[in-house]
Structure 1
C-alpha cells in the first residue's frame, strides 16, 4: 500500500468515524449547552449509565463542538509501515505487531472486531515508549461531605514499553524482550502522602509470553518488606474492597482504611492484561466524552462535593462500546472482583472515555470517567514537556462506587501541582526505573 493511498483510506475512515449518527431519542445537546442535574435527561443515552449518575449528582458538563484528534507523526509513520502485517492468532493473541496502531480499519461485522479494538487501545497513540507522570494526587470523597476522606500523593507513576516504540531509542522494539519476554514495566512509587505510607509503592512487569502471569511487587514502608502479589489482586481497590475488607496493604492492612475506590487495573480506564478477558462489541454510538478539557490541572467539582471534575468541556464523539468479561482463573491465580466491565473507546484516539463496572451479581457497582486534553504541552506553563505537535493527556480519572456515592479522583497532575505533570516519550524513565530494586531504594 502506498503512503498516499494509506493516508486517503485513513482520512476517509476518520471522517466516517466523526460524522454524527442517529442521536438517541431525547438527546438534545448542542455546543454552548451546560448540563446540570436539572437537565441531566438531555444526556441520557449520550453517556454511560454510570456516568449519568455522576451528572445527576452534580457533575456539570459544558458542551463544545467536536474536534479532531491527530496522531503524533512518528506514530502515523509506524502505523503505515507495520499495520499491514498485523493479524490475530486463533486465540486472540496479537501476531506480527511491531509499532503503531495494529488495526487502523476495524470492520464492525468482523467477529473479532472487539478484540482488535482492545489491541488498538493497548497500543494507542497517546503513550508508546515511556511515561513519567509526576505530582499525581488521589483524593477520595464520601457522599454528603466536601472534606476529603483520604489523600494520596505519588512521586512517579508510569511505564516503559519494550514493543511499539516510536519516538525514543531503541525503536521500534527494545530487543531485551527477546531475552526476558518482558513487554512492559509499570509502577507507582514512592507514595509521598499520607506520611505513614511515605516510601511505599507498587510495580509490575508484564510478559509477552502467552499464559505467563505478570509479576507484581509491593513495597511496604512500614515493614520495609518487598512482597510478591497476585496479578488478580490488581482488580481490588487501592484501599478498601466493596465488602469493607482491607485490600492488600502490607503492614498497614487492617489498621486503617486508606479509603479508595480506585483499583490498579483501572489505570487509564483499563490496564489489565488484554488476554485475561473476552470481548464483545455492543455497538458504535455517538456519545459525549471529555476530550479537549479546558482545565489542566483539572479542578474539583464544587457542585458534587469534589467527587468528580467540573465544569469541564464535553463533546460528541464516535465511540465503540465493548463488553469485557474476565476469563476464569486457576485456584492458584485467584479471581478478580470486577468480573465485567463495559468500555467506551474513542475511535480516533483509541482511549477509554468511560467504563462501567459490575460486581459478581451482575449489578452496576462502579463507574469511571476520564478527562483528557489535547495540547502540545500537559499544562499551560510547562517548562520541559513541550512537543512540536499536539497529543492527548489525561487530566483526571473519576472512579465512583455508585451504590453509596463514595468517589476517588486521580488528578494528573494535582490541582495545586507545580510540575509539568506528564513526561511522555521523553526517555526520562528507562527499563531499570520500574524495578523492585529502584522502588526499594526510593522508599528508604
Structure 2
C-alpha cells in the first residue's frame, strides 16, 4: 500500500510541475498560473497537500480542518489551554517492541529505535487520523500567489518572491531544489503574527531526575507582518526574544535573535544579555550545532523547532511523500494543570498522554558536505504534508549510527488557526537521556497569539539592555 501511494505521490508531483521528474537536473522551472490553479481543487488543497484520503481510508479526505474553536469544547480564547475536540476517539492499536514488525512500513527509523531502546516502557498509541490543519484565507491567498512567484536564491540558502505564506506549495525543479523548498516551507510556515509564551525545559537524566528552567519568549513573525510586504522584510524572517525567569542563578539572562532569510549572505544576528555582568554582547556562534546550555547539550541551536537556520552545510535529497505514524492532535499532553512529573517519564514522555496518527509526510534527507562540519553527519526530516512543519527528525553521528531522535507533539491551535507543536522532545539514544522544551501546563496560560505589530526598536539590542535592568 505504501509503495503504491509513493508512486502515486511522485506521479502527482510530476504532473503538477509540468512533467518534471524527481531527481532531474537543470535550472529551477517556474510554476505556471494554470498549474497553481489546481491548488484548492480535487487533487490538492490550497496549501499543496493531496486532498484525497489514503487508498485504505485510514487517512481521510481533507474537509477544511479546524478553522476555529469546535462547537463541542469550552474554549476561553488565546492563551487558554485547548480542550480535546475528539474526546470519544478510541485507540486503534498500540505499537510495542513486540509487535512493531506488523507496522514496520509506518514506523520511522527513529520510532523503531525508541521502541527497541526502551522495549518495556515505550509504546505508541495510534488513534484515528484527523486532518485538523487549517490556515486563514489571507494566508491561503498569499500561498496561491507565492506558488508562481517564489524562487530559491543563493543555491537554496534564501528565497525571493514570497511573503505571508509558504513559498512552495508545489515542489518543483531538481531533486535537491524540491528538498530545499520543503525545508523552506517549514521555516516559513504560519505560526501567527506575534506570540508570547512562558514555558519550561528540562534535561531528564538516566535516573529520571531533572531541573526545570523557565523562560518567557516573545516572537514577531516579520514574514507575516500584515502591515508590510516583501519589500519591507529587510532580510528578516522573525524576531525572537527569550528571557530566563528561573532558577535564580539564570533569571534575567536573555537572548535576542533577528532571524535572517538568507543566512549565508547575512548570518543570523544574535545577542545575549548577562544579568550578572549587566552587559549585552553579540552571540555570533548561536547557530548550527552550537549546544544549548539549558538543554544540557541535548539540543543544538539548529534543532530548536526541530530545524531552523541555514541549509548550507548539507546536500539535500527529496524522498517523496510517504505515510508514517507521527504525533498529531496532542491535546491530552497539553492540558491545564497537568503536572510535569506526569508528563516526564524516566526514559521518555508518558506514552499514555501521547496521540499518534497515520499521516502523509514529505521525507527529506540531508547529508553533511565533505568540506563542512556539524555533529550530525546525516539527518532525515519528516514534514507533515498538511502543515509543512517538521514533526520528527532522525539524526546520525559521524559513524553513521542513529544518535538522536526529535519529535514535535503537534496539535491544532484552532483560534489562530494553525497546527503547531505543544511540546518538543529530543532523545539521545546513546546516553539514554532526553530533553523536553515547551512545558507550560503548570502555568496560568499557554501561547498567547495576537495581531500585534511591534515597533522595530522593541527587538533592538538597546531594548534588551533596558529590559535587563528592570
Summarize the Cα distance change of 1:393–1:296 in structure 2 as closer, same or farther, 3 Å threshold. farther
Which of 149, 155, 169 is the aligned partner of 2:226? 169
Deviations 1:179-231 (A, max 9, x none): xx43432232x111121011112222233455222222222223333222234
Deviation at 1:21, TM superposition (A): 8.1
Deviation at 1:328, TM superposition (A): 7.0
1:37–1:55 CA contact under 8 A, matched in 2: yes
Which of 377, 381, 394 is the aligned partner of 1:343? 381
Deviation at 1:316, TM superposition (A): 0.5
Deviation at 1:170, TM superposition (A): 1.1
SS of match in other structure, 1:112: helix
Which of 401, 407, 415 is the aligned partner of 2:441? 415
2:146–2:168 CA contact under 8 A, matched in 1: no
2:236–2:258 CA contact under 8 A, matched in 1: yes
Which of 279, 283, 294 is the aligned partner of 1:229? 283
Deviations 1:64-101 (A, max 9, x none): 11222232222111112332112234722423222322
Distance 2:102 2:459 in 1: 45
Summarize the Cα distance change of 1:193–1:288 in structure 2 as closer, same or farther, 3 Å threshold. same
In structure 2, stretches of 5+ residues that fail to align are: 1-32, 59-89
Q: Does 1:62 align with 2:125?
A: yes
Deviations 1:294-326 (A, max 9, x none): 325266566842632532111101111111245
The residue number in structure 2 matching 1:392 is 419
Distance 1:229 1:39 in 2: 48
Distance 1:102 1:109 in 2: 16
List aligned pairs for 1:40-119, cutoff 5 A. 40-56=100-116, 57=118, 58-68=121-131, 69-89=133-153, 91-92=155-156, 93-106=158-171, 110-119=175-184
The residue number in structure 2 matching 1:261 is 298
The residue number in structure 1 matching 2:250 is 197
Deviations 1:374-395 (A, max 9, x none): 142xxxxxxxxx44xx422311
Deviation at 1:261, TM superposition (A): 0.9
2:394–2:405 CA contact under 8 A, matched in 1: yes
Distance 2:348 2:319 in 1: 29
The residue number in structure 2 matching 1:245 is none
Distance 1:306 1:426 in 2: 39
Q: Does 1:11 align with 2:50?
A: no
Which of 197, 215, 219 is the aligned partner of 1:154? 215
Distance 1:326 1:429 in 2: 38
2:268–2:287 CA contact under 8 A, matched in 1: no
Which of 358, 363, 386 is the aligned partner of 1:321? 363
Deviation at 1:153, TM superposition (A): 0.5
Summarize the Cα distance change of 1:432–1:279 in structure 2 as closer, same or farther, 3 Å threshold. farther
The residue number in structure 2 matching 1:216 is 270
1:137–1:410 CA contact under 8 A, matched in 2: yes
Deviation at 1:10, TM superposition (A): 2.9
Deviation at 1:272, TM superposition (A): 1.8
2:162–2:230 CA contact under 8 A, matched in 1: no
TM-score (norm 2): 0.73
Summarize the Cα distance change of 1:174–1:87 in structure 2 as closer, same or farther, 3 Å threshold. closer
Distance 2:458 2:375 in 1: 30
Summarize the Cα distance change of 1:136–1:22 in structure 2 as closer, same or farther, 3 Å threshold. same
Deviation at 1:234, TM superposition (A): 4.8
Count of matched residue positions in the alignment of Structure 1 and Structure 2? 392
Distance 1:344 1:396 in 2: 17
Q: Does 1:406 align with 2:460?
A: no
Distance 2:44 2:455 in 1: 33
Distance 1:328 1:191 in 2: 38
Distance 1:365 1:326 in 2: 15
1:185–1:431 CA contact under 8 A, matched in 2: no
Distance 1:426 1:319 in 2: 30
Deviation at 1:47, TM superposition (A): 3.2
The residue number in structure 2 matching 1:250 is none
2:423–2:436 CA contact under 8 A, matched in 1: yes
Which shifted more, 201-210 or 348-357? 201-210
Summarize the Cα distance change of 1:19–1:337 in structure 2 as closer, same or farther, 3 Å threshold. same
Which shifted more, 74-83 or 400-409? 74-83
Distance 1:291 1:100 in 2: 22
1:199–1:220 CA contact under 8 A, matched in 2: yes
